[in-house]
Amino acid sequence: KAGVTQTPRYLIKTRGQQVTLSCSPISGHRSVSWYQQTPGQGLQFLFEYFSETQRNKGNFPGRFSGRQFSNSRSEMNVSTLELGDSALYLCASRDTLTDTQYFGPGTRLTVL
């Protein structure tokens, strides 16, 4: 089975721009979660989608949003980028039988 894929792997944006990141979960997995990883804060939960519905949401501002499509692929969008949004954004696919999550390689976003 193919693993979780994320595109693009690297992005450089400037303050005020917006960005869209994409994630394709493991085949058969219907739950996708997004996390932000920074050296200072570690891994922090952004949101989770299951069958196109947002099931959980972390403590991030409304500039961070996401969606999930009928094929379980997910996108997250960050609007009005700030310098502090520079981070590794990770997508995880959940196996609902074992309740374990498998991560993709991440998208490294740099905001200048």
Partner 1 sequence: QKEVEQDPGPLSVPEGAIVSLNCTYSNSAFQYFMWYRQYSRKGPELLMYTYSSGNKEDGRFTAQVDKSSKYISLFIRDSQPSDSATYLCASHSGNTPLVFGKGTRLSVIA
Q: Any contact of residue 23 with partner 1 (CB under 8 A)?
A: no
Pick the closer one to partner 1 by CB: 18 or 26. Answer: 26
Q: Which residues contact 102 (CB under 8 A, 6 or more apart)?
A: 3, 4, 26, 29, 92, 93, 94, 95
Pick the closer one to partner 1 by CB: 66 or 104. Answer: 104
Q: Which residues contact 108 (CB under 8 A, 6 or more apart)?
A: 9, 10, 11, 87, 88, 89
Q: Any contact of residue 25 with partner 1 (CB under 8 A)?
A: no
| Site map (CB under 8 A) of partner 1, residues 45-74, x = contact | x--x------xx-x----------------
> Are the CB atoms for 111 and 81 separated by under 8 Å?
yes
Pick the closer one to partner 1 by CB: 66 or 106. Answer: 106
Distance CA 56, CA 46 (A): 8
Which region among 14-22, 63-71, 79-87, 95-103 touches partner 1 (by CB under 8 A)?
95-103
Q: How far apart are the first and last CA of the chain?
A: 37
According to CB under 8 A, which one of 24, 33, 68, 72 is a site residue for partner 1? 33
